Structure 1
Amino acid sequence: MPEPRERVAPARRRDAERVTIVMRTKDRAPLLRRALDDVLAQTLAAWHLVVVNDGGARQPVDVLLTERETAFDGRVEVVHVDGGSGSMEAAANLGVERARGDFVVVHDDDDTWAPTFLEEMVAALDADEEAVAAAARTEIVHEDFDGTSATEIRREPFVPPGEVVSLFDLLRTNRVVPISLLVRRRVYDEIGLYDPVLKAVGDWEFNLRLLQHGRVVFVGSKPLAFWHQRRRAEGTASNSIFGGADHHLFFDRHVRDRELRDYIERNGIGGLLFLAGYIEETARYYSLQETVRRVLHRVRDRGRTLLRLGRRR
């Protein structure tokens, strides 16, 4: 991985940096502009922003930061990674490693928050010292992007089922995206950083380890985080779940297979073979097609029985 070069923020008081915000970006200055202003709009000012320019052009990023230098007031640094870090997770790790506060959150350059996001999330973890992280009520914002500006199309809720963050749900699919999750800084020392091998689903894999480590509280009577999606965008403007759909499928299987091998090594394959067969047979038995077939067989058998009885008379 190329050696990152950085512009370091001036030293600030420890109490002025309760939250480290990691912002990954690459060659989409209009979205980055919106994200930077989103951070500056937070009602909680005790944060430190690390912008990780992961292989993108330097000049547009530096210009945007210089334009906001007064507003940032020393609370920002940028890490330029010439050639790219190799994965989104490796880029996130570069930011986490520079965290100096109590909490860490990944705010990618295309997502946004409600102005009170940091204030409410920090308050929730301050009030619950046993929780390892907090997950915010989230909305998906569908939008179009023409290269210079984004136009909102519609919104829909994106929350964990029952508004509870659980391993049960995470085993099926990720229910907490980076823009929604505030994590205690010490947790990264306890469970490790994001897996840099994963070019997709790294946030899901981290969340699985996080939930095994401790409890994640759900925060917000109204949406505090906004996950922006651009289904029709291409290139650097697209979301990884759409532009990198093949990566998502491959690395989803990679994570599951890796954990399955570890489980089998420790427990053997017998129980899993039984469950796989039982689930497949149960699903087939209760499928609509099989239900219709059983009903038709019963009707046919009943008809044959009535026919035989009629002949005997």
Structure 2
Amino acid sequence: MIKGVINRFRQGLRKTREGFVGRMRDMFGGRVRLDEDTLDQIEELLISADMGVQSAVAITRNIETRLKEEGGEATLESVLEVIGKDVRRILTTAEPKFKPVSWNPEDDGGKKKKKKAQREPILAESAPPVTGLRVIFVVGVNGTGKTTSIAKLAHMLQQQGKKVMLAAGDTFRAAAVQQLQIWAERIDVPCIAQGQNADPAAVVFDALNAAAARGCDVLIVDTAGRLHTKANLMDELGKVARVIRKRTGRDPETLLVVDANTGQNGLSQARVFAETIPVQGLILTKLDGTAKGGIVVAIAESLGLPVEYVGMGEKVDDFAVFDPDQFTAALFADWAAGDEGDDTGS
């Protein structure tokens, strides 16, 4: 199992590895002269892998500090070792950089002008509480692979013996409900849905009831993938989150989906969401199709948000729990041999 996950990481990070480690090897061969020009080139390579300017500068300075005693030269191995250790440190010590936000506007200081109360499903007040149900709220903009990630996550949880249900809460985008239903049929999980333009809070209310009645362990909720203004984002998603809180007694676990191919744009999207709603972690998609897998490092360094899961292919099994050690090992795999032909091993 562990070997399989490592191989998937290695295969998924091939483009990033070739773009960064491969270029390091091509540029410097076996020895690296640590003059200002070379350090600038290393910094540019780190930035080109989308590790972020802050991380790139810090790592480059560490290379200079730690390896200077080697007389102005270092081996490529020693340089990559420093980079690898710094990448792992950033990923394992990241802490949220934002003031915690709540689904209840009154919780964020209590001084905001209270809006006219919105009508939410009336049965939310009187229905019996749903206990023991893990509710995962999946958010993100259109085109990030949100729906596919929901299916992959549901399949992974199934493989762990969990009974999973989906809720088609994206009632805004045309065909979004049908897309989720098709995935649900493929992986053999129930999907609670209403028609297009239905109230997402009502859909989720029905799904909570169904999940409780069928003894489900996990309910995964899809949401509309529009790029909202901050106020509209909180209002629309907050209405659904409050229904979940009323029925379960706690807030949903909110995961933000980010497309690795979008690089710094994805980082900007993550920042807007994290400043607006309570995001617990990220799902990073399409990691196999980008040379900019370093966005994982930039997100950890700039936002302090943990990457919980990564998608690395089109198949339903091309999905894994994110592990900083495995990620770092895969990013620098086989650099010395110059031969990555075994990345597809089982």
TM-score under structure 1 length normalisation:
0.28
The structure whose Rg is larger is: 1
More strand by share: 1
Q: Which has the higher contact order (CA 8 A, sep 6+)?
A: 2
TM-score under structure 2 length normalisation:
0.26
